[in-house]
Amino acid sequence: MVTLLQQLLNGLTLGCLYALVALGYTLVYGILELINFAHGDLVMVGALVSLSVLRWALGWGWPMWAALLLALIVAMSVCAVLGVALERLAYRPLRHAPKLAPLITAIGLSMVLEQGASLIWGRGYLTFPDVGLAHPWEWGGVVVTTMQGVIVMGSLTLLGGLLVLVQRTALGRAMRATAQNPMAAQWLGINTDRVILTAFLLGAVLAAVAGLLIGMYYQVAHYTMGFMVGLKAFTAAVLGGIGNLPGAVLGGLLLGLLEALGAGYLGDWTGGWLGSNYKDVFAFAMLILVLIFHPSGLLGRHAPEKV
Amino acid sequence: MTALLDAQQISKHFGGVQALQQVSLQVPAGAIIGLIGPNGAGKTTLFNVLTGMVRQDGGSILWRGAPLPVGEPHRVAQAGLVRTFQNIRLFPQMTVLENVMVGFHVRTRAGVLGAWFQSAAVRREEQEIHDRSHEWLAWVGLEAMAHREAGTLPYGAQRRLEMARALATQPALLALDEPVAGMNTVERQSMAQLIARIRERGIALLIIEHDVRWIAQLCDRITVLDYGRCLAEGTPAEIQADARVIEAYLGHKSS
């Protein structure tokens, strides 16, 4: 029972991080039907930028909260600029090209970001400064760190904020209108280019936050870390039904939980034959099962194949 | 009086095909202008040129005395010229009410920050958009369906919703591409009444339609296109009596 609760808590933490990144994929896909494979690398940039800012600020003797705040702001700004630049310079010129062109471009951009980061931060694993939120709180054997609390509360606040933005505000209406029929949206006076830019901007800012949180949580950052995070988050978005925002949150949480449960129980279930290092296999096997029985994802709509 | 929309000597060709040859057309403020012609006469091409969807090869188009921003429909709509399409383009997964609320976007300010911080001004504006969208729905007779998903409405209601949504942008000219295509006689008459009521609000209309009798009862003036040329232009009575028009277009229909 203790193991179960502990793994559920770990899974929730992980799931929140996946959900933050998954929203970036699903926001852009919902409007453009483009899988922005470079999105995971924005998480990496967010982590590495906040690592540098934290080291710099702490080196100058800044208090921890001020250093974290600065790291958050700088990482969000850098990722926002990058996200907008990707859209303006790489994707917008291909807006009316066949769908394969922006897809290949996305993979290329992912490589450009990774190699660019390796030039700035090197190819080694970098240790994230200890931000001192590791204080453990224990209830009957179940341990929660302050860090996990910060991650879960922070992520859920952002996720809720984004859902409110999209469902309840004029900007969100413009985004949904653009997603459902761009030509009609334009003829109602909506500047769809600006709406698309906003989607990239929001996704990039969430990626920056995720990068900082992931760096703090695992205390390590590396120029290729965006690949696996991106793949997992993309999986989460597909699991929930890509293009569907609550679906991305659900998919992220579910994937995090599956992974944590796989890590906690695979050894027991298989009599030690498969260890916790098979947790990814377990999570992806679940994805395959969901897609076999419900191809459009858990909350997705059955739509005609468009790609 | 100068026209709202003034197109002079418009030509357009696609490759070697001359789709439009020196067609002129004016829409005065508050008027209903009809555009008719056999299939392939160039009606849709002219419509696309007049609404800034494609650039003409020759001639000039002035909207309130200035050129149209070609290729930027959102700016055309902001300038007060809004169009619909032959196939209905709603936001099918939004409610009927939300569809109309999107129409108000053009006349409001919706920034990322304002949306998030929900200032008092933003909230007041939202409330006003909400109330006025309900008014438009009542005006086109869809109030009872306000909270249904737009994609689930019957065909005629979807057309009305499209009109309500376009009217929410407060256009000076509403351009309708075959607004009664696929409708039965009762629905056609009800749409004609709606269009007449729109004109009473001082909004000009430009309408493409196949059904000559239907459009003749509505329009102030009609332009007839044939093989990309302006075959005739005049009042509905003049057009219906014009020998060239009868030969080219009405001949096989009138008995």
Q: Specify the 3-state DSSP secondary structure of A144.
A: strand
d(CA A13, CA A17): 7
Is B202 part of a structural domain of the chain? Answer: yes
CB contact under 8 A, A170 and B110: yes
**Domain total in chain A:** 1
CB contact under 8 A, A184 and B90: yes
Both B128 and B101 in one domain: the answer is: yes
Mean pLDDT value across residues A165-191: 92
**What is the Rg, in whole angstroms, of the alpha carbon atoms belonging to chain A?**
19
CB contact under 8 A, B77 and A183: no
Q: Which of B2, B5, B1 has its CA nearest to residue B173? A: B5
Query: Which residue range forms the structural domain that includes residue B109?
Result: 95-157
What digits encode the pLDDT tens for the residues B210-245?
888 899 999 999 999 988 899 989 999 998 888 888
Is A106 part of a structural domain of the chain? Answer: no
Is B162 part of a structural domain of the chain? Answer: no
Both B222 and B113 in one domain: the answer is: no
Both B175 and B76 in one domain: the answer is: yes
CB contact under 8 A, A170 and B82: no
Q: Give the closest of A165, A173, A184 to B116, CB-based.
A: A165
Both B141 and B177 in one domain: the answer is: no
- Residue to mutate among B72, B82, B105, with most A CBs inside 10 A, is B105
Both B75 and B11 in one domain: the answer is: yes
Residues A265/A79, Cβ–Cβ less than 8 Å:
no
Q: Confidence class of residue B254 from pLDDT cuts 50, 70 and 90? A: very low
Is A269 part of a structural domain of the chain? Answer: yes
Is A306 part of a structural domain of the chain? Answer: no
Is A89 part of a structural domain of the chain? Answer: yes
CATH for B225: 3.40.50.300
Query: Considering only CB atoms, which chain B residues are within 8 Å of A174?
Result: 102, 105, 110
Is A41 part of a structural domain of the chain? Answer: yes
**Domain total in chain B:** 2
Is A35 part of a structural domain of the chain? Answer: yes
Give the distance from residue B10's alpha carbon to the nearest chain A alpha carbon, in angstroms: 23
CA distances from B170 to A16, A61, A145, B66, B210 (A): 44, 58, 56, 19, 27
Identify the burial level of B62 via C-beta atoms within 10 angstroms of its C-beta, where 0-12 means exposed, 13-18 middle and 19 or more buried: middle
What sign does the dihedral B72-B74-B76-B82 (CA atoms) show?
positive
Query: Considering only CB atoms, which chain B residues are within 8 Å of A304?
Result: none
Both B235 and B115 in one domain: the answer is: no
What sign does the dihedral A31-A37-A40-A42 (CA atoms) show?
negative
Is B50 part of a structural domain of the chain? Answer: yes
Residues B210/B43, Cβ–Cβ less than 8 Å:
no
**Entry pTM:** 0.89
Mean pLDDT value across residues A95-113: 94
Is A112 part of a structural domain of the chain? Answer: no
Q: Encoding tokens for residue A64?
A: 């921890």
What digits encode the pLDDT tens for the residues A212-254?
999 999 999 999 999 999 999 999 999 999 888 999 999 999 9
Q: Encoding tokens for residue B29?
A: 């403020």
ipTM of predicted complex:
0.89
Query: Considering only CB atoms, which chain A residues are within 8 Å of B92?
Result: 180-181
What digits encode the pLDDT tens for the residues A243-253?
889 999 999 99
CA distances from A261 to A152, A264, A292 (A): 18, 5, 22
- Higher per-residue confidence, A190 vs A294: A190
CATH for A182: 1.10.3470
Specify the residue for token string 């080219």. B248
Query: Which residue range forms the structural domain that includes residue A88?
Result: 2-97+143-293
How far does chain B reach from its first CA to its final CA, in angstroms?
A: 40
CB contact under 8 A, A180 and B85: no
